[in-house]
Protein backbone atom coordinates (compact mmCIF):
# COMPACT_ATOMS: atom_id res chain seq x y z
CA UNK A 1 0.00 0.00 0.00
CA UNK A 2 1.36 3.38 -0.98
CA UNK A 3 1.15 5.87 1.89
CA UNK A 4 1.42 8.75 -0.54
CA UNK A 5 -2.17 8.14 -1.62
CA UNK A 6 -3.55 8.44 1.93
CA UNK A 7 -6.31 11.08 1.72
CA UNK A 8 -5.90 12.05 5.42
CA UNK A 9 -2.31 12.79 6.21
CA UNK A 10 -1.21 13.72 9.73
CA UNK A 11 -0.21 17.18 8.56
CA UNK A 12 -3.69 17.78 7.16
CA UNK A 13 -5.29 16.69 10.43
CA UNK A 14 -2.96 18.94 12.41
CA UNK A 15 -3.78 21.87 10.13
CA UNK A 16 -7.52 21.22 10.40
CA UNK A 17 -7.36 20.95 14.18
CA UNK A 18 -5.31 24.13 14.47
CA UNK A 19 -7.76 25.95 12.20
CA UNK A 20 -10.70 24.80 14.33
CA UNK A 21 -8.94 25.91 17.51
CA UNK A 22 -8.21 29.30 15.94
CA UNK A 23 -11.84 29.64 14.88
CA UNK A 24 -12.99 28.68 18.37
CA UNK A 25 -10.72 31.36 19.79
CA UNK A 26 -12.20 33.98 17.47
CA UNK A 27 -15.86 33.04 17.90
CA UNK A 28 -15.86 31.83 21.48
CA UNK A 29 -17.79 28.85 22.74
CA UNK A 30 -21.33 28.23 21.59
CA UNK A 31 -22.52 27.83 25.17
CA UNK A 32 -20.06 28.87 27.85
CA UNK A 33 -19.20 26.00 30.15
CA UNK A 34 -18.75 28.05 33.28
CA UNK A 35 -20.64 30.70 35.20
CA UNK A 36 -20.82 34.33 34.22
CA UNK A 37 -18.55 36.86 35.91
CA UNK A 38 -21.61 38.37 37.62
CA UNK A 39 -22.64 35.01 39.09
CA UNK A 40 -19.13 34.37 40.39
CA UNK A 41 -18.88 37.90 41.83
CA UNK A 42 -22.17 37.44 43.70
CA UNK A 43 -20.91 34.46 45.74
CA UNK A 44 -20.37 35.08 49.47
CA UNK A 45 -16.77 36.03 50.22
CA UNK A 46 -14.63 36.56 53.26
CA UNK A 47 -11.32 35.55 54.75
CA UNK A 48 -10.36 32.13 56.05
CA UNK A 49 -10.11 33.43 59.62
CA UNK A 50 -13.70 34.80 59.45
CA UNK A 51 -15.20 31.43 58.49
CA UNK A 52 -12.85 28.91 60.06
CA UNK A 53 -13.91 26.92 63.11
CA UNK A 54 -10.91 25.25 64.76
CA UNK A 55 -11.15 21.47 64.60
CA UNK A 56 -14.24 21.51 62.34
CA UNK A 57 -12.97 23.31 59.26
CA UNK A 58 -10.91 22.12 56.34
CA UNK A 59 -7.42 23.51 56.64
CA UNK A 60 -6.55 22.94 53.00
CA UNK A 61 -8.18 24.21 49.80
CA UNK A 62 -9.63 21.19 47.96
CA UNK A 63 -8.71 22.67 44.57
CA UNK A 64 -5.06 23.66 44.95
CA UNK A 65 -4.36 21.55 48.07
CA UNK A 66 -2.50 24.46 49.71
CA UNK A 67 -3.09 25.17 53.38
CA UNK A 68 -5.21 28.22 54.12
CA UNK A 69 -3.56 31.23 55.73
CA UNK A 70 -5.73 33.26 58.14
CA UNK A 71 -6.03 36.21 55.76
CA UNK A 72 -6.59 34.21 52.54
CA UNK A 73 -9.65 35.45 50.63
CA UNK A 74 -12.20 32.66 50.19
CA UNK A 75 -15.49 32.18 48.32
CA UNK A 76 -18.38 30.05 49.51
CA UNK A 77 -20.97 28.07 47.55
CA UNK A 78 -24.16 28.86 49.49
CA UNK A 79 -26.20 25.65 49.35
CA UNK A 80 -23.44 23.14 50.06
CA UNK A 81 -21.32 25.51 52.19
CA UNK A 82 -18.06 24.37 50.61
CA UNK A 83 -15.52 27.15 50.35
CA UNK A 84 -12.24 27.60 48.55
CA UNK A 85 -9.49 30.10 47.86
CA UNK A 86 -11.08 32.94 45.90
CA UNK A 87 -8.73 32.57 42.92
CA UNK A 88 -9.09 28.80 42.85
CA UNK A 89 -12.89 28.83 42.81
CA UNK A 90 -13.09 31.69 40.33
CA UNK A 91 -10.85 29.80 37.92
CA UNK A 92 -12.83 26.56 38.48
CA UNK A 93 -16.22 28.21 37.89
CA UNK A 94 -15.06 29.81 34.64
CA UNK A 95 -14.97 26.34 33.10
CA UNK A 96 -17.39 24.31 35.27
CA UNK A 97 -20.82 24.71 36.83
CA UNK A 98 -20.36 22.22 39.66
CA UNK A 99 -18.90 22.25 43.15
CA UNK A 100 -15.41 20.71 43.01
CA UNK A 101 -16.11 18.68 46.17
CA UNK A 102 -19.70 17.40 46.00
CA UNK A 103 -20.39 18.00 42.29
CA UNK A 104 -23.61 19.81 43.12
CA UNK A 105 -24.64 22.02 40.23
CA UNK A 106 -23.93 25.72 40.70
CA UNK A 107 -26.89 27.41 39.02
CA UNK A 108 -26.49 30.90 37.66
CA UNK A 109 -30.29 31.11 37.32
CA UNK A 110 -30.82 30.83 41.09
CA UNK A 111 -31.51 34.09 42.81
CA UNK A 112 -28.57 33.53 45.16
CA UNK A 113 -26.49 31.66 42.56
CA UNK A 114 -26.48 28.68 44.87
CA UNK A 115 -26.33 24.96 44.28
CA UNK A 116 -28.80 22.37 43.16
CA UNK A 117 -27.97 18.68 43.43
CA UNK A 118 -26.86 17.22 40.12
CA UNK A 119 -29.73 15.70 38.22
CA UNK A 120 -32.44 17.36 40.28
CA UNK A 121 -35.11 19.54 38.85
CA UNK A 122 -35.10 23.25 39.38
CA UNK A 123 -35.93 24.32 42.90
CA UNK A 124 -39.05 25.94 41.56
CA UNK A 125 -41.90 26.41 43.95
CA UNK A 126 -45.61 26.43 43.22
CA UNK A 127 -45.48 29.97 41.87
CA UNK A 128 -42.64 29.30 39.46
CA UNK A 129 -44.81 29.64 36.36
CA UNK A 130 -45.50 27.30 33.48
CA UNK A 131 -42.16 25.51 33.56
CA UNK A 132 -42.76 24.24 37.10
CA UNK A 133 -45.18 21.52 35.98
CA UNK A 134 -44.28 20.01 32.61
CA UNK A 135 -47.16 18.91 30.37
CA UNK A 136 -48.23 15.28 30.57
CA UNK A 137 -45.93 12.98 28.63
CA UNK A 138 -42.91 15.25 29.00
CA UNK A 139 -39.85 13.99 30.80
CA UNK A 140 -39.18 15.06 34.36
CA UNK A 141 -36.33 14.98 36.87
CA UNK A 142 -33.21 15.39 34.79
CA UNK A 143 -34.71 14.16 31.53
CA UNK A 144 -35.73 10.67 32.65
CA UNK A 145 -39.32 9.42 32.43
CA UNK A 146 -41.07 8.51 35.68
CA UNK A 147 -40.29 5.02 36.93
CA UNK A 148 -42.81 2.29 36.50
CA UNK A 149 -43.01 -1.03 38.24
CA UNK A 150 -41.69 -3.88 36.09
CA UNK A 151 -44.27 -6.47 35.11
CA UNK A 152 -44.52 -9.56 37.25
CA UNK A 153 -44.52 -12.95 35.51
CA UNK A 154 -48.09 -13.63 36.66
CA UNK A 155 -49.29 -10.36 35.04
CA UNK A 156 -48.87 -11.90 31.59
CA UNK A 157 -49.55 -15.57 32.31
CA UNK A 158 -52.83 -15.11 34.15
CA UNK A 159 -54.17 -12.37 31.91
CA UNK A 160 -53.49 -9.68 34.49
CA UNK A 161 -55.11 -6.31 34.09
CA UNK A 162 -52.73 -3.81 32.50
CA UNK A 163 -55.24 -0.96 32.61
CA UNK A 164 -53.53 0.64 35.61
CA UNK A 165 -50.97 2.13 33.20
CA UNK A 166 -47.88 1.32 35.24
CA UNK A 167 -47.06 -1.99 33.55
CA UNK A 168 -44.94 -1.70 30.39
CA UNK A 169 -46.39 -3.47 27.33
CA UNK A 170 -43.61 -6.07 27.18
CA UNK A 171 -43.01 -9.32 29.05
CA UNK A 172 -40.03 -10.02 31.26
CA UNK A 173 -37.09 -11.77 29.60
CA UNK A 174 -37.20 -15.55 30.18
CA UNK A 175 -34.23 -15.51 32.57
CA UNK A 176 -36.14 -13.15 34.90
CA UNK A 177 -38.97 -15.64 35.60
CA UNK A 178 -38.43 -17.51 38.82
Quote the pLDDT of residue 44.
Answer: 92
Cα torsion 86, 88, 72, 79: sign? positive
**Through-space distance between the first and last CA atoms of the chain, rounded to whole angstroms:** 57
* pLDDT band of 118, cuts 50, 70, 90: very low
Contact 115, 109 (CB under 8 A): no
Q: Which CATH number among 3.40.190.10, 1.10.3720.10, 1.20.1510.10, 3.30.40.10 corresponds to the domain 17-94?
A: 3.30.40.10
Quote the pLDDT of residue 88.
Answer: 94
Biggest CA-to-CA distance, the chain: 73
Question: CA distances (Å), 175 to each of 10, 43, 147, 148, 153, in order?
Answer: 50, 53, 22, 20, 11
Quote the pLDDT of residue 92.
Answer: 92
* Vertex 147 angle, CA 105 and 151, to 5°: 155
What is the tens place of the pLDDT at every residue in 68-94? 999 999 999 987 889 899 999 999 998
**pTM of the predicted protein model:** 0.47
Q: Provide the residue ranges of all domains of the chain, joining segments of one domain with +.
A: 17-94
In 3D space, the residue among 64, 104, 70, 103 whose CA is nearest the CA of residue 84 turns out to be 64
d(CA 151, CA 90): 50
Amino acid sequence: MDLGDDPLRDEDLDTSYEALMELSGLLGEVRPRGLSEQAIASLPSGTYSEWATPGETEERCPICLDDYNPEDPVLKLPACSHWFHRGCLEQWLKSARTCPVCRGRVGSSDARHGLRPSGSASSAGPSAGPSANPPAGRRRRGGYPPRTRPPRPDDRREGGNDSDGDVPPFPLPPWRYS
